[in-house]
Homo-oligomer: A and B are copies of this chain.
Amino acid sequence: MKMRIAIGQINSTVGDLKGNFEKMLSMIKAAFDRGARVIVFPELCVTGYPPEDLVLRLDFLKKNVETVEKLAVETRDMDIVIVAGFIDFSDDVYNAAAILYGGEIQGVYRKMILPNYGVFDEFRYFAKGRVPLVVEDEHGTRMGITICEDIWVPEGPMRMEVIRGNAGIIVNLSASPFEKNKPLLREKMTSTRARDYRIPIIYANSIGGQDELVFDGYSFAVDHEGNVIARAKGFDEDLLLVDIHLEEAVLSKLHDPRKRQIKEENVTCDVVKITASFLTSGESTPSTCQKLKDEYEQVLDALILGTRDYIKKNGFQKVIVGLSGGIDSSLVASIATMALGPDNVVGVLMPSQFTSSESLEDARKLAQNLGIETFTIPIKGIFERFMEELEPVFKGLPWDVTEENLQARIRGNILMAISNKFKYLVLVTGNKSEFSVGYATLYGDMAGGFAVIKDLYKTEVYRVARLVNERFGREVIPERIFKKPPSAELRPGQVDQEKLPPYEILDEILKMYIDKDMPIDKIIEEGFEVETVKSVVQMVNNSEYKRRQSPPGIKVSSRAFGKERRLPITNHYDPWK
């Protein structure tokens, strides 16, 4: 006898109660057909994650509950236990899991450990659950329920479900956002928890893009020894089936007295008894174990999925990208092409008198390699007309950043005009190094709906661009683009390195200052020049106002701009004082 359990790794859309319901229903049918006795869905799969202030709407909460009730009714004739994330709206509002069987909601587990850091604001919305819960089938087999953060703390409900609830298996419903190394970290942590208590764990993660976040999927199962025995696809929907032999775990416990030592503690756990059987006989189903890709391959997948979902879920079909012939716009156009196909990507070339012929050539070559359409609209005439009209006010004042920004803003206007006329979404091409130090023009190159590589430092941009060429199997991004010194080409002979330290140095300082919040003296101790560190930190602090008005982009690091990093604009803190 074994437990055949399915993970319904679906791509929910926030607020799309009906669409999410339909996805769940079709996964349940498929799992049932394949002999699964239990199916586990991700955290808040009914509403999508994170629903943010939709949770403050009564009508939304009610419809979410109705959706779960409807799901129970529609699946009443299928002999399968369903565990689905939804918002429990009863004496208070909870991030919860409903246990459905035989047409009814058999029980509700309420998340006990609520994250309120990084990108998470769960205390804003939810009350804490107070009681762990196990579901018991007619054979007495017990399945402990946990939701995401619950399992990340050593003393969460899982411990009580094992000690007091005598759970034989733990399931975890997650909406764990992607960041570099996160998929591996999740497995390591879960593996440790499994070994700690000699119990198999089923980890069901969301997939899909939601504004700044990408959920990578990679749901998995670990056995009681902590081995990963099954893994779902990354960055795609999947139905993962796995057979768990519960006796093995019990046998293993007999040989490990550690758990039994703490058994007598005074903790409580609810038990929901249902008339279903978790167990099935007959032939085992071989479990699939998808490969966990390399770190930056995952990053590229995240950028593709995040872009595709933002575009499609927001009702767009096509995108436009300003092509400068530089590495950033080349990478963004390539990602867009991978996400949407070449017919849905348009490159716009907007040369000025400072645009080198090499840049134009490189941009055209890239577009040709990708097979995307291009428009060419020169900006010189418009720029001159602006300067003419501004002359009575500027009265011959010397050229400065004003004229550079104006060129960038004319380009922004052109992209937005095309966007308005044809309903294409504008992709922004700035990288994290630029967003960090404010080396970008508000309403200029920062104008657009979605900033694909906003969380990639420049040095990482090159790295991911290499992977793009590898994945295409040919030189899509021309080699010359990798080689030439980065330049905004907004005045004669301009290169980024005039105003900024070399990117190899800049990015290292930024990682320490932004991603790790390291004190300045520690950064200097790492071997960087005081003046360089000082100027970088000042640039970062002084450009908060630009970031506040920047478009959303895809989080791939442990500290992305946007909801994950919340600094005041008005801020006189100077670490040197």
Contacts and interface: CB of A to CB of B under 8 A. Distances in A.
Contacts of A48: 572
A483 interface: no
A255 interface: no
B211 A573 contact: no
A394 B422 CA distance: 9
A306 B211 CA distance: 31
A185 interface: no
Given A405-B416, A548-B552, A121 B566 contact: yes
A475 interface: no
Nearest to A402: B420
Copy number in the complex reads 2
Interface in A408-460: 409-410, 412-414, 416-418, 420-421, 442-443, 447, 449
Interface stretch (A73-81, A129-137, A334-342, A376-384): A376-384
A56 interface: yes
Given A409-B413, A413-B409, A517-B58, A573 B386 contact: no
Nearest to A209: B570
Interface stretch (A8-16, A163-171, A228-236, A292-300): A8-16
Contact of A393 (B116, B388, B418, B545): B418
A572 B443 contact: no
B420 A416 contact: no
A275 B315 CA distance: 69
19 contacts: A13-B570, A13-B572, A14-B570, A15-B571, A15-B573, A56-B517, A59-B519, A60-B573, A117-B124, A121-B124, A210-B568, A211-B569, A378-B389, A390-B414, A393-B418, A401-B420, A409-B412, A409-B416, A548-B552
Given A13-B572, A394-B421, 12 more contacts: A51-B568, A52-B568, A53-B566, A209-B570, A314-B569, A375-B392, A382-B389, A400-B421, A406-B413, A409-B413, A409-B443, A410-B413
